[in-house]
């Protein structure tokens, strides 16, 4: 039984006849696909991390000791252990300032040695009675405390064994885990102030050291402020600075927008790189397809004699482009995913930016978008060749090959 000759079979046959050229074109398209897919994933993850940071802060103003804004940023962005302190009485003073609705303080304790992890970790104490930030990110309702009246919440990146963490040879039960935010807060352990003081005192008795103070009764590291409805951040911040000396008031909105501005230049670079690679791919494929058409004039002339019209010849050219584009794009997406996805955590640590990995559904959508863009780019690169072959007559094809 004779095999039916179709546009797809003709396109595949031509692709197989030139294995080296086909391999080179697929590699070129795969490179474009890998760059585009990685760029989309990275961009989405950074934007997701930025949104997570804005939500996780959960306050309009942050009050830190004067000159410690950079250290506060490093805690928020990367979870880098840090310590700085102001007088806890400031919390009560701020609570009485016009425009302030809620106030809560946090205490930063930084370990020097042994902890639940293989590296120094930031332990943050918070007051459950006044907190309006930490508990809202818990994966389950905080109705009961952990063992021995302890409240310990672990960031999503903290490794825990059997829902327990070990601090300085003492094991503590984790009350709950926090939802992932894509920020440094995922690398932090939160405890209530009483538990934090107990951890500090136990460690001190055993000779373990801290690079930060353990005076949780009279000191705090940062005070978070939620504004009342209608209150202006600028005017409230000015009132706080007028009432309390030696502090720096960070406006969360300005902090996030400033971070977005600095990230935007990085994202523009990613977009520009992706567009440049795709343009190079389109131009290269256009040249290759054009040269290929010149080599195959006799083949197309025979097809015309056999009854193929100009539309069918164009369809063959476009079919070849679509097959090459699909093969290359799928290969590029696969290689990019193989390299990019397993090292998400390492990438987030290296770029030192808010970073929330895309979920499976988002990744699948980005892969589909990359595939569609690359196939479309390949089809565009074949437009000139298709137009060129549609203008050749049977006589032109045989005359060109006879020379």
| Candidate from 133-147, 166-180, 316-330 with smallest mean pLDDT | 133-147
**Domains held by the chain: number:** 2
Tell me whether residue 59 is in a domain: no
69 or 265, greater pLDDT:
69
Tell me whether residue 62 is in a domain: no
Residue 374 and residue 286 in one domain: yes
- What does the pLDDT look like over 177-234, one tens digit per residue? 887 777 777 778 889 988 888 887 777 776 665 555 667 788 888 999 999 988 898 9
| Rounded CA separation 68/84 (Å) | 7
Tell me whether residue 189 is in a domain: yes
Residue 42 and residue 95 in one domain: no
Residue 139 and residue 212 in one domain: yes
pTM of the model: 0.69
Domain holding 168, by residue range, is 67-245
- What does the pLDDT look like over 242-282, one tens digit per residue? 888 888 898 888 877 777 777 777 778 878 888 888 888 88
Mean pLDDT, range 35-55, rounded to an integer: 81
Tell me whether residue 133 is in a domain: yes
Tell me whether residue 272 is in a domain: yes
Residue 223 and residue 298 in one domain: no
Last residue in a domain, options 221, 245, 269: 245
Residue 174 and residue 284 in one domain: no
Tell me whether residue 2 is in a domain: no
- What does the pLDDT look like over 91-147, one tens digit per residue? 989 998 999 999 999 998 876 444 445 456 778 889 988 988 888 887 766 544 444
């Amino acid at each position: 039984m004779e095999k039916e000759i179709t546009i797809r079979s003709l396109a595949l046959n031509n692709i197989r006849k030139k294995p080296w050229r086909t391999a080179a074109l697929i590699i070129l398209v795969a490179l474009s696909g890998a760059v585009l897919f990685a760029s989309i994933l990275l961009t989405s993850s950074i934007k997701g991390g930025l949104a997570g940071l804005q939500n996780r802060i959960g306050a309009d103003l942050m009050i830190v000791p004067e000159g410690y804004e950079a250290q506060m940023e490093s805690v928020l962005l990367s979870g880098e252990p840090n310590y700085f302190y102001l007088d806890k009485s400031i919390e009560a003073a701020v609570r009485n300032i016009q425009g302030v609705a809620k106030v809560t303080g946090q205490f930063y304790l930084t370990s020097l040695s042994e902890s639940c992890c293989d590296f120094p970790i930031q332990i943050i104490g918070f007051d459950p009675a006044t907190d309006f930030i930490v508990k809202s990110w818990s994966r389950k309702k905080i109705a009961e405390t952990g063992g021995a009246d302890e409240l310990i919440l672990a960031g999503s990146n903290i490794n825990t064994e059997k829902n327990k963490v070990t601090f300085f040879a003492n094991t503590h039960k984790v009350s709950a885990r926090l939802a992932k935010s894509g920020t440094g807060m995922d690398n932090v352990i939160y405890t209530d102030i009483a538990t934090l003081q107990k951890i500090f005192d136990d460690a001190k008795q055993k000779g373990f050291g801290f690079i930060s103070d353990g005076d949780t009764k009279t000191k705090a590291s940062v005070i978070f402020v939620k504004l009342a409805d209608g209150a202006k951040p600028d005017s409230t911040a000015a009132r706080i600075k007028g009432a309390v000396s030696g502090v720096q008031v960070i406006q969360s909105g300005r902090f996030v927008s400033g971070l977005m501005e600095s990230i935007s230049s990085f994202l523009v670079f990613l977009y520009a790189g992706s567009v440049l690679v795709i343009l190079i791919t389109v131009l290269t494929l256009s040249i290759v397809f054009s040269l290929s058409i010149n080599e195959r004039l006799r083949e197309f002339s025979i097809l015309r004699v056999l009854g193929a019209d100009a539309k069918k010849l164009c369809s063959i050219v476009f079919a070849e482009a679509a097959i090459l584009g699909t093969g290359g794009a799928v290969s590029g997406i696969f290689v990019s995913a193989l390299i990019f996805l397993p090292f998400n955590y390492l990438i987030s640590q290296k770029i030192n930016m808010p970073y929330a990995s895309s979920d499976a559904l988002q990744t699948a959508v980005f892969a589909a978008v990359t595939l569609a863009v690359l196939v479309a780019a390949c089809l565009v690169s074949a437009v000139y060749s298709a137009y060129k072959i549609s203008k050749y007559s049977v006589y032109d094809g045989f005359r060109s090959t006879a020379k």
